[in-house]
Amino acid sequence: MAGSQTTGITEKRGRFGRMRVLRSAVLLGLCVCALRCAEGTKLSNIVLILTDDQDVVLGGMVSVERTRWLSVSMGSLSLDCFTVTPLCCPSRSSVLSGKYPHNHGVRNNSLNGNCSSADWQRTQEPQAFPVYLQKRSYQTFFAGKYLNQYGKPQAGGVSHVPPGWHQWHGLVGNSQYYNYTLSVNGKEEKHGDQYKTDYLTDLIVDRSLRFLDQRRYPFFMMLAPPAPHSPWTSAPQYQNTFGNIKAPRDGSFNKPGGKDKHWLLRQPHNPMTNSSINFLDNAFRRRWQTLLSVDDLVEKVVQKLEDLKQLNDTYIFYTSDHGYHTGQFSLPIDKRQLYEFDIRVPLLVRGPGIKPKQTLQAPVLNIDLGPTFLDIAGVNVSQTPMDGQSFLPFMAPSLRNGSVRPYFLVEHTGEGHSDQDPACPSLGPGLSQCFPDCVCEDAFNNTYACVRTLSDYNLQYCEFADSESFVEVYNLTSDPHQLENVVKKVDPTLLQTMNQRLIKLQSCLGESCRVYKQ
């Protein structure tokens, strides 16, 4: 795995020699699953740091060394954290609403796909978790990327500020590092290409620290930096870092999809051309470079909370909207796929009552974040329309009887051009996201729904909505890299069980989505 590449990191980052040792109260506890609210009536503060396209399977957390250092001394790591859909706008909509995509209706990153559309604003934003927190007297602050179409004229323009936010610094459109527009409490604010005033990750830090200096408690802050999303523009001081780093070569890297995988995985060139490999290696290195500024963000926020004597009363969550791949099954770069590298995400948590070095062997989803925030704030989650469930009980010693989710849903609606992708017109209609050598990462028939289970079986079962009625099944205990589709080898009774679970989840709503196992 990518952990073998850490040897080149420290020598490239002399700044760690200057790292001051924060006392134990400052340490950011690391855990992928559960937490505990402080006893008593005082409401805890909450900080959510949501990165863009940061994986955990392929070493996406390796470069944020300071964040991990702040984390590991008082926390624990579990890898069982997933997004319910591996694409930016649908995933972020799931974080905000606490709902599966089939319930919030966001299908892709386009306005036609319901991303930040008038329908989303009318039906989903009024039920998003910030609205509930504001009603509980939380001071709420947002800075960074919201939804891919946010702020566009067809989406209400910069004057639209989603309900639930006291202070709003929302990026117009998709991730950028320079030359972007913000909506600052509904007013347009344009930025150029000067590092000191415009680099978006650092601007988010500066404005969040200014908000914290106002000393209004309890508070909720959501910080959504652009990293490590393309165009992968790092801060000037980090542009020469990780010069020899390459994407991990193990697992499914540069492996053919094979005839037992869906059509989209059968079309990449294998082995990959040198141009594709150089392209993805460059992307991998630059992604890590952009994350160094996120590493700075984490430390500065933690230090400010310590200076204000608020750290012990604050939960800090660090996660991503979905994973990412660089060369797996010969797909150069992107997300959108059903495999572990695209659906697993990092989740780091520290806060009141979290004991050190704990590991939770139960899946947590990004739709569980909102319910967990509400649980911390004392809101009865069962009275909300959310599909997710709070994972607050799992880490609290007094609440160990929390119900484990035995299986869950992952869904994606494929997107393609009605005629042809402009980058590769020779391939015909129905494809999109075509990268070097005309390898395409998405298509209309890349529409699937999966059941992922970890409790009774370490299994993934996926059905595609296409003319092939394709099914993929993976035993992740014996095949963690999902190299072999075992649909023809699995007991038909088990396949029937997984199919019935899938049917149930695809029509679930609210409480019926919360599948429990004591």
* CB-based contact 49:407 (threshold 8 Å): no
Burial annotation 53-74 (CB, 10 A radius, 16+ → b, else e):
bbbbbbbbbbbbbbbbbbbbeb
Residue type, 35: L
Q: Write out the two tokens for 229.
A: 């999303």
Sign of the dihedral through C-alpha 193, 196, 198, 199: positive
Residues paired with 286 in a beta bridge: none
Options 31, 37, 88, 462, the catalytic residue: 88
> What does the alpha-carbon distance between residue 341 and residue 330 come to, in Å, rounded to a whole number?
13
Burial annotation 405-434 (CB, 10 A radius, 16+ → b, else e):
bbbbbbbbbbbbbeebbeebeebeebbbbb
Q: Where are the beta strands (DSSP E) in 52-185?
A: 81-82, 139-145, 167-171, 181-184
Q: Which residue has the tokens 């429990």?
A: 516
* CB-based contact 140:99 (threshold 8 Å): no
User: Distances in Å between the alpha carbon of 254 and those of 361, 442, 474?
Assistant: 31, 18, 19
Q: Write out the two tokens for 197.
A: 């005033």
Instruction: Count other Cβ atoms within 10 Å, centred on residue 518.
Output: 6
Which among 392, 400, 351, 350 has a CA at the least distance from the CA of 371?
392
Which among 220, 212, 223 has a CA at the least distance from the CA of 293?
223
φ, ψ (nearest 5 deg) of residue 90? -60, -40
> What does the alpha-carbon distance between residue 264 and residue 337 come to, in Å, rounded to a whole number?
10
> 31 catalytic, yes or no?
no
> What does the alpha-carbon distance between residue 411 and residue 87 come to, in Å, rounded to a whole number?
10
Q: Write out the two tokens for 238.
A: 């980090």
* CB-based contact 108:120 (threshold 8 Å): no
Which among 390, 416, 423 has a CA at the least distance from the CA of 404?
390
CA–centroid distance for 110 within its chain = 18
Which among 494, 393, 88, 59 has a CA at the least distance from the CA of 250?
59
Which active-site residues does the annotation give?
88
